[in-house]
């Protein structure tokens, strides 16, 4: 009888794992990094290889052997099917653009050196701007400084149009490990460059613009960035029809897009990490939570408040200074109302005159961010808790709390909390902090990339709420997709199908097969293709019909992202009754904890793919996928 019960428990254990786990793929060595892409392809780096894995099935699409790349050496080109790889050996460096789905080299450049930090793409003119930094490694508290290298290329051929070595700037660690280990450094403490109106704009030492075709510099507004050794203390610039609004060093500037001259300047505001433009009024948040570059700690800096600026003359219309010892990002439930939270209260401010309308206790420990759910209610959150409030009355509607397990791994728990929250902010969209239709930023026909989206080295939740979601979501709004590899031959047919039918007859269903059917263990042992840098490609082994199905699914994945908005905020906690720790997903619309993913081995780098409904983690030399769509 005892043996029978043991076997029954063992069978139940295996069944529970199969229900949660969708696939596992074995690789050649321990996983060093991994990141998702817009196509649903997961890029994985080990100690010996770089892999492209189909996120839906775990199939290895292609593999490049005998290469050891850092995460800074790998970057997907937004708005395209290209993946950039930077290879450095001694003094020799080359950058390759490869087909994301097959690994085939599209072009190669021997003129660029360093890690791939940030990018901007102008699809309508086929331009790609890449910012690199050489030898961007060191100890996390070293204060590494480098001269970023800017290259502007033809997107399809890789031909260089012009380049520029920029002034020296301070970089930011990709992580802050315990001990004295060497880490990669990034430009995540700066806003990514953008193309707009025939020019390329950079934000590393103020605001600099170049003619995008010739590289001729016109605008150089130099001012201090990363004040007091903190990351992202200035706001994401806003590109309006005639002006660029930028902030730094307690000032907000309106810069003419035609002449490059500063038209007006509002001074003495304090740190200004957030701006929102509504009509002719610019609302500016002062103070907040910032990541300290030397150790990754979240630091609060004031003065805390909100200011309104008339954009016609730069006159400060009003200032609200009633926030007490902290402030969240701005939330605008309608054009007449601004809501913020400080350490204790949720505050409603009249957008016309800056007077406080209401103040209610929110009870959130160290409130970090605010957002709007689909019902238009204000949701205030921190590392452990969420609560929703009616924006008119301030009445609490619901509350959800999930306490992190353990106290001896505070840094790890903070990193996990930031990563878990970023799963929402990645898909949250512009409407997550303001009513629909608001003008937050206009960067016409430009896509930007920063490693911040995939790394989440910013450890405080406020920075994620005010920066990451906005950048990620807006890059789909007006973008044109450019295919240069295998996807080029199916893109036209796919677009026609999208325009004529809501359901694509050639696409696999976006609903995945049952988890049990997908559980498998693949040992990767492919024969080298002597005629190519890439080992055997999966598509080469598929018949034409299955090739088309798989490629079409990659295109479906990207188009699905354009309409997707996150609904779940995740918390790392003890899953009661699930025998272990994991992620609890709280629906931001009703406060229900209706997703639970048990993680046996904590991997703070975990990422989700909402279109596929999967979460990816690594364990040793394996990549694993878990379903996040199964309810409790």
Rounded CA gap, 453 and 71, in Å? 13
Query: What integer pLDDT is reported at residue 527 of this predicted model?
Result: 31
Q: Judging by DSSP bridges, how do beta strands 149-154 and 172-173 pair with one another?
A: unpaired
Is the model's pLDDT at 46 over the cut of 60? yes
Predicted confidence at residue 510, as pLDDT, reads 37
Going by pLDDT thresholds of 50, 70 and 90, the confidence category of residue 580 is confident
- Tokens 């400060």: give the residue: 316
Domain final residue pick, 409, 440, 474? 474
Tokens for 169, please give them: 């700037």
Residues 52 and 90 in one domain: no
Q: What is the pLDDT of residue 6?
A: 38
Residue 91 sits in the same domain as residue 64 = no
> In the predicted model, what is the mean pLDDT of residues 60-69?
92
Q: What is the pLDDT of residue 88?
A: 77
Q: Please check whether residues 104 and 32 belong to one and the same domain.
A: no
CATH classification of the domain holding 454: 2.130.10
Full residue range of the structural domain in which residue 221 is found: 71-474
Q: Which of 204-218, 292-306, 501-515 shows the lowest per-residue confidence on average (mean pLDDT)?
A: 501-515
Residue 102 has which token pair?
Answer: 């097959």
Query: Per the domain annotation, does 115 fall within a domain?
Result: yes
Q: Give the pTM.
A: 0.85
Domain end point (choices 440, 474, 508): 474
Do 410 and 506 lie in one domain? The reply is no
Residue 497 and residue 531 share a domain: yes
* Mean pLDDT within 595-604: 77
For residues 396 and 438, the answer to whether their CB atoms sit within 8 Å is no
Answer yes or no: is 589 within a domain.
Answer: no
pLDDT classification of 257: cutoffs 50, 70, 90: confident
Q: Are 6 and 34 part of one and the same domain?
A: yes
Q: What is the mean pLDDT of residues 357-376?
A: 91
Domain match, 51 and 75 both: no
Cα gap 102→93, rounded to integer Å: 23
Does one domain contain both 236 and 118? yes
Backbone angles phi, psi at 424, to 5 degrees: -75, -50
The average pLDDT across 274-295 equals: 90
- Split into its structural domains, the chain has a count of 2
CB atoms < 10 A from the CB of 579, how many? Answer: 11
Q: Which residues pair with 396 in a beta bridge?
A: 389
**Per the domain annotation, does 426 fall within a domain?**
yes
CA 187 from chain centre, in angstroms, equals 14
Cα–Cα distance for residue pair 336/244, rounded to 1 Å: 24
Q: Are residues 501 and 403 in the same domain?
A: no
Residue length, the chain?
A: 632
Alpha carbon distance 380, 461 (integer Å) = 11
Mean pLDDT calculated for residue range 372-384:
90
Burial class of residue 305, CB neighbours in 10 A (0-12, 13-18, 19+): buried
Residue 157 confidence (pLDDT) above 60: yes
Per-residue pLDDT at 7: 38
In a domain, 576, yes or no: no
Q: 398 and 273, same structural domain? A: yes
**SS3 state of residue 557:** helix
Residue 81's pLDDT is what? 93
- Looking at residue 576, its pLDDT comes to 76
- Using DSSP's 3-state secondary structure scheme, residue 254 falls into strand
Which is higher by pLDDT, 364 or 220?
364
* Residue pLDDT, tens place only, 413-427: 667 777 777 777 777
Selected residue with higher pLDDT from 551 and 479: 551
Q: Compute the average pLDDT of residues 183-193.
A: 88
Residue 592, domain member (yes or no): no
* Of 72 and 492, more confident: 72
State which of 446, 474, 502 marks the end of a domain.
Answer: 474
What is the rounded average pLDDT of the residues 531-552? 83
What's the pLDDT tens digit per position in 212-221? 999 988 766 6
Residue 581 inside a domain? The answer is no
pLDDT in the model for residue 578 = 62
Q: Which residues of 229-250 are buried (b: 16+ CB within 10 A; e: fewer)?
A: bbbbbbbbbbbbeebbbbbbbb
Residue 441 has pLDDT above 60, yes or no: no
Q: Where does the pLDDT of residue 583 fall: very low under 50, low under 70, confident under 90, or very high at 90 and above?
A: confident
Asked if the structure places residue 575 within a domain, the reply is no
Residues 554 and 485: their CA atoms lie apart, in Å, by 13
Closest listed residue to residue 160, CA positions, set 131, 129, 133, 134: 129
| Alpha helices, H only, 340-486 | 410-428, 452-455, 461-463, 469-474
Nearest to 300 by CA among 275, 271, 322, 321: 271
Q: What is the pLDDT, as a whole number, of residue 20?
A: 66
**Closest alpha carbon to 73 in 36, 19, 113:** 113
User: What secondary structure does DSSP assign to 497-511, as a single string?
Assistant: HHHH-SS-TTSPPSS
Residue 195, Cα to own-chain centre: how many angstroms? 19
Task: Quick: pLDDT tens for 98-144.
Answer: 999 999 999 999 988 888 899 999 888 899 999 999 888 888 888 89
CA distances from 150 to 78, 98, 591 (A): 17, 20, 46
In terms of C-beta density within 10 A (0-12 exposed, 13-18 middle, 19 or more buried), how is residue 14 classed?
Answer: exposed
Instruction: Please write the tens of the pLDDT for every residue from 325-336.
Output: 889 999 999 989
Q: How confident is the model at residue 65 (pLDDT cuts 50, 70, 90)?
A: very high
CA dihedral 124, 276, 610, 446 (to 10 degrees): 10
> Residue 544: beta bridge partners?
none
Tokens of 231: 């990351």
- Which of 148-152, 244-248, 463-467 is predicted most confidently? 148-152
Give the pLDDT confidence score for residue 603 in this predicted structure. 77
Angle between helices 544-563 and 488-500 (to 10 degrees): 60
Specify whether 91 is located in the same domain as 136.
yes
Average pLDDT, the chain: 80
Q: Rounded to an integer, what distance in angstroms lies between the CA atom of residue 464 and that of residue 248?
A: 19
Which two tokens mark 537?
A: 């490609």
Please report which confidence band the pLDDT of residue 394 belongs to, taking 50, 70 and 90 as the band edges.
very high
Residue 542, number of CB atoms within 10 A of its CB? 15
Model pLDDT, residue 498? 45
Task: Classify residue 578: in a domain, yes or no.
Answer: no
- Listed as own residue / partner, the contacts of 28-33 with beta carbons closer than 8 Å and 24 or more positions apart are 28/524, 28/621, 29/621, 30/620, 30/621, 31/618, 31/620, 31/621, 31/622, 31/623, 32/70, 32/71, 33/70, 33/71, 33/74, 33/605
For the residues 8-35, what does the mean pLDDT come to?
A: 68
504 vs 294, more confident: 294
| CA torsion, ordered 278, 284, 289, 293, to nearest 10 deg | 100
Instruction: Report pLDDT for 180.
Output: 76
Name the more confident of 2 and 459. 459
Candidates 65, 50, 195; CA nearest to 122 is 195
In contact, 432 and 371? CB cutoff 8 Å: yes
pLDDT for residue 451: 62
- What is the distance between the alpha carbons of residues 297 and 111, in angstroms, rounded to a whole number? 37
Residues 227 and 249 in one domain: yes
Q: pLDDT higher for 346 or 237?
A: 346
- Return the pLDDT at 604: 76
The residue written with tokens 């903190």 in the block is 230
CB under 8 Å to 17, separation ≥6 — which residues?
A: none
């Amino acid at each position: 009888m005892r043996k029978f019960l043991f076997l029954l428990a063992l069978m139940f254990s295996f069944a529970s794992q199969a229900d949660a786990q969708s696939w596992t793929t074995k690789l050649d060595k321990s996983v060093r990094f991994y990141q998702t892409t817009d196509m649903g392809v997961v890029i994985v780096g080990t100690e010996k290889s770089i892999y492209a894995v189909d996120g839906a099935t775990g199939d290895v699409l292609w593999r490049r052997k005998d290469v050891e790349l850092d995460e800074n050496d790998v970057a997907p080109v937004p708005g395209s099917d290209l993946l950039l790889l930077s290879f450095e050996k001694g003094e020799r460096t080359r950058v390759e653009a490869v087909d994301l789905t097959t690994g085939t080299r599209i072009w190669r450049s021997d003129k660029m050196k360093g890690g791939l930090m940030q990018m901007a793409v102008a699809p309508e003119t086929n331009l790609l701007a890449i910012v690199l930094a050489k030898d961007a490694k060191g100890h996390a508290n070293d204060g590494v400084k480098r001269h970023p290298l800017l290259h502007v290329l033809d997107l399809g051929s890789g031909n260089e149009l012009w380049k520029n070595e920029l002034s020296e700037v301070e970089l930011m660690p990709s992580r802050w490990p315990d001990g004295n280990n060497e880490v990669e450094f990034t430009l995540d403490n700066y806003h990514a460059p953008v193309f707009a109106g025939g020019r390329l704009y950079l934000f590393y030492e103020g605001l600099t613009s170049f003619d995008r075709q010739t590289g001729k510099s016109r605008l150089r507004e130099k001012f201090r960035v990363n004040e007091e050794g903190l990351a992202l203390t200035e706001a994401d610039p806003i590109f309006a029809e005639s002006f660029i609004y930028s902030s730094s060093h307690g000032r907000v500037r309106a810069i003419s897009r035609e002449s490059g001259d500063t038209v007006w300047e509002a001074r003495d505001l304090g740190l200004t990490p957030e701006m929102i433009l509504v009509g002719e009024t610019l609302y500016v948040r002062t103070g907040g939570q910032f990541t300290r570059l030397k150790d990754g700690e979240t630091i609060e800096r004031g003065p805390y408040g909100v200011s309104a600026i008339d954009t016609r003359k730069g006159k400060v219309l009003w200032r609200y200074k009633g926030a007490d010892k902290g402030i969240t990002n701005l939330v605008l439930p309608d054009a007449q109302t601004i809501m913020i939270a400080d350490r204790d209260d949720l505050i409603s401010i009249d957008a016309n005159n800056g007077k406080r309308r209401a103040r209610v206790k929110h009870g959130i420990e160290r409130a970090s961010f605010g957002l709007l759910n689909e019902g238009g209610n204000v949701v205030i959150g921190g590392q452990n808790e969420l609560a929703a409030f009616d924006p008119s009355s301030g009445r609490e509607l619901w509350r959800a709390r999930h306490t992190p397990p353990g106290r001896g791994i505070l840094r790890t728990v903070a990193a996990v909390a930031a990563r878990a929250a970023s799963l929402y902010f990645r898909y949250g969209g512009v409407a997550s902090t303001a009513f629909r239709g608001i003008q937050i930023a206009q960067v016409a026909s430009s896509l930007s990339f920063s490693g911040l989206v995939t790394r989440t080295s910013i450890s405080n939740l406020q920075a994620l709420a005010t920066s990451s979601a906005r950048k990620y979501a807006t890059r789909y709004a007006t973008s044109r997709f450019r295919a240069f590899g295998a996807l080029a031959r199916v893109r036209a047919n796919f677009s026609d199908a999208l325009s004529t039918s809501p359901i694509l007859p050639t696409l696999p269903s976006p609903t995945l097969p049952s988890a049990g059917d997908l559980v498998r263990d693949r040992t990767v042992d492919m024969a080298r293709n002597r005629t190519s840098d890439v080992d055997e490609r999966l598509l080469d082994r598929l018949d034409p019909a299955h090739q088309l199905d798989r490629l079409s699914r990659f295109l479906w994945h990207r188009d699905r992202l354009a309409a997707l908005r996150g609904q779940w905020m995740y918390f790392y906690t003890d899953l009661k009754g699930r025998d272990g720790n994991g992620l609890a997903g709280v629906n931001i619309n009703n406060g229900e904890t209706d997703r639970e993913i048990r993680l046996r081995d904590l991997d703070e780098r975990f990422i989700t793919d909402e279109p596929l409904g999967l979460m990816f983690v690594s364990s040793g030399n394996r990549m694993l996928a878990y379903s996040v769509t199964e309810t409790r």
